[in-house]
């Protein structure tokens, strides 16, 4: 497996939508290729960080204000 | 004599579907519940697309109102949430169009960049790199980084990886083919990874201290 081939399988590895045989081949490549192992780990970490950190905060007072505005408009509409 | 329960005929209704039916029957409080359930997500999605807080506030309201008005059109072919997200995405794009008066806005802009497609910065990251920054610093880094992505990649990443839509749902929402979603997702992930390496790389010559030891507790 080349590093280019590895890249095409990166998403499937991370999303765990990969056949067992192919997964074994990818892991074999990662053991031999430190660069690809780093790419795999840091890409996975990238996703994890974005999943676990709220970057667009909706503070409660704003949330309540928007919610009230939405419900007021809906009630008028019905 | 025991009653035979029909398991095959059991209607496993998604709770959202039950709520939608109640709204259609005239129960506005059921819509209140639906709004509360998804307001954070819609706000986030609107922010990701419009990159503008005021616009995101307007888009979020408009999306919920539009969904309420069009509730009869929700057939149940997709999940209610996916249907709602599609409305929010369309409202966001329309809002972007208004801001850039006259210019066509689509999610296909600026996809020519090759940045990140071939990983260049191969430095490994520090363990738990986010612990080297406080909450505010980290949020700023993550925001700046994702805002630097081309629109077409950013939206796919936001829907797939942040909001957790499936590839199929993302494709449906954005009117893209599945291969297009997959290719953009890979590019988005690699570009984000590449940019974040600047902030998260292992410092040269640093000792392998656990984050708790490296920084005093704030």
Residue B168 maps to which CATH number?
A: 1.10.10.10
Distances (CA, A) of B28 to B57, B126, B191: 22, 50, 44
Question: What percentage of residues in chain A have a pLDDT greater than 70?
Answer: 97
Inside any domain, residue B198 = yes
pLDDT tens per residue across span B132-144: 999 999 999 999 9
- Domain holding B160, by residue range, is 129-214
Q: How far is CA B169 from the centre of its chain?
A: 12
Inside any domain, residue B152 = yes
Q: What is the pLDDT of residue B167?
A: 95
Inside any domain, residue B121 = no
Does the structure show a pLDDT above 80 at B212?
Answer: no
Select the residue of B44, B60, B138 nearest A66 (Cβ to Cβ). Answer: B60
**Tell me, what CATH number does B50's domain have?**
1.10.1740.10
Q: How far is CA B61 from the centre of its chain?
A: 17
B39 closest CA partner among B20, B61, B23, B55? B61
pLDDT tens per residue across span B31-45: 999 999 999 999 999
On whether both B83 and B134 belong to a single domain, the answer is no
Answer with the one of B57, B77, B99 that is the final residue of a domain.
B99
Contact indicator for B157, B149 with CB cutoff of 8 Å: yes
Q: Are A55 and B32 a contacting pair at CB < 8 A?
A: no
Residue B59 CB contacts under 8 Å (≥ 6 apart), including other chains:
B42, B46, B49, B50, B88, B91, B92, B95
Residue A47 CB contacts under 8 Å (≥ 6 apart), including other chains:
A14, B161, B189
On whether both B81 and B154 belong to a single domain, the answer is no
On whether both B72 and B147 belong to a single domain, the answer is no
Per CB-CB distance under 8 Å, the chain A contacts of B43 are: 56, 58, 66
Q: A 24-63 residues with CB below 8 A of B?
A: 35, 38-39, 41-43, 45-47, 49-51, 53-58, 62-63
Inside any domain, residue B7 = no
pLDDT tens per residue across span B173-198: 999 999 999 999 999 999 999 999 99
Inside any domain, residue B34 = yes
Inside any domain, residue B162 = yes
- The string of DSSP codes covering A6-36 is HHHHHHHHHTT-S-HHHHHHHHHHHHH-HHH
Inside any domain, residue B197 = yes
Closest approach of chain A CAs to the CA of B40, in angstroms? Answer: 7
pLDDT tens per residue across span A10-56: 999 999 999 999 999 999 999 999 999 999 999 999 999 999 998 99
B196 closest CA partner among B119, B107, B113, B134? B119
Answer with the one of B78, B99, B120 that is the final residue of a domain.
B99
Mean pLDDT of B70-90: 92
Does the structure show a pLDDT above 60 at A63?
Answer: yes
Predicted complex ipTM exceeds 0.90: yes
On whether both B135 and B93 belong to a single domain, the answer is no
Q: Are A55 and B139 a contacting pair at CB < 8 A?
A: yes
Answer with the one of B99, B120, B155 that is the final residue of a domain.
B99
Structural domains counted in chain B: 2
On whether both B77 and B138 belong to a single domain, the answer is no
Mean pLDDT of B150-156: 93
Per CB-CB distance under 8 Å, the chain A contacts of B196 are: 42, 46, 49
Per CB-CB distance under 8 Å, the chain B contacts of A58 are: 39-40, 43-44
Select the residue of A14, A47, A58 nearest B40 (Cβ to Cβ). Answer: A58
Inside any domain, residue B3 = no
Distances (CA, A) of B73 to A44, B20, B67, B78, B200: 38, 11, 9, 12, 47
Contact indicator for B110, B150 with CB cutoff of 8 Å: yes
Select the residue of A56, A66, A70 nearest B47 (Cβ to Cβ). Answer: A56
Does the structure show a pLDDT above 90 at B21?
Answer: yes
């Amino acid at each position: 497996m080349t590093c280019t081939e590895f890249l095409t399988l990166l998403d499937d590895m991370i999303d765990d939508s990969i056949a067992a045989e192919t997964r074994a081949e990818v892991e074999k490549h990662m053991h031999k290729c430190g660069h690809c192992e780093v790419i795999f780990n840091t890409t996975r970490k990238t996703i994890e960080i974005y999943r676990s950190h709220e970057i667009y905060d909706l503070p409660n007072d704003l949330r309540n204000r928007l919610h009230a505005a939405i419900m007021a408009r809906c009630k008028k509409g019905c | 004599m025991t009653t035979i329960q029909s398991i095959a005929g059991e209607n496993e209704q998604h709770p959202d579907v039950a709520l939608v039916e109640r709204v259609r029957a005239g129960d506005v409080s059921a819509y209140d519940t639906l709004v509360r359930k998804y307001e954070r997500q819609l706000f986030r999605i609107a922010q990701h697309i419009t990159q503008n807080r005021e616009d995101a506030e307007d888009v979020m309201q408009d999306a919920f109102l539009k969904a309420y008005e069009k509730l009869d059109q929700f057939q149940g072919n997709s999940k209610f949430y996916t249907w709602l997200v599609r409305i929010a995405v369309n409202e966001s794009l329309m809002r972007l169009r208004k801001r850039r008066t006259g210019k066509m806005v689509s999610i296909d802009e600026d996809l020519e960049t090759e940045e990140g497609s071939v990983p260049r910065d191969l430095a490994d990251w520090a363990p738990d790199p986010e612990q080297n920054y406080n909450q505010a610093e980290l949020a700023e880094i993550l925001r700046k980084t994702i805002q630097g992505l081309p629109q077409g990649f950013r939206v796919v990443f936001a829907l797939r990886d942040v909001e957790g839509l499936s590839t199929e749902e993302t494709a449906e929402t954005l009117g893209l083919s599945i291969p297009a979603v997959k290719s953009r997702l890979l590019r988005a992930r690699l570009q984000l990874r590449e940019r974040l390496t600047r902030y998260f790389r292992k410092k040269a010559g640093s000792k392998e201290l656990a984050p708790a030891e490296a920084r005093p507790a704030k």
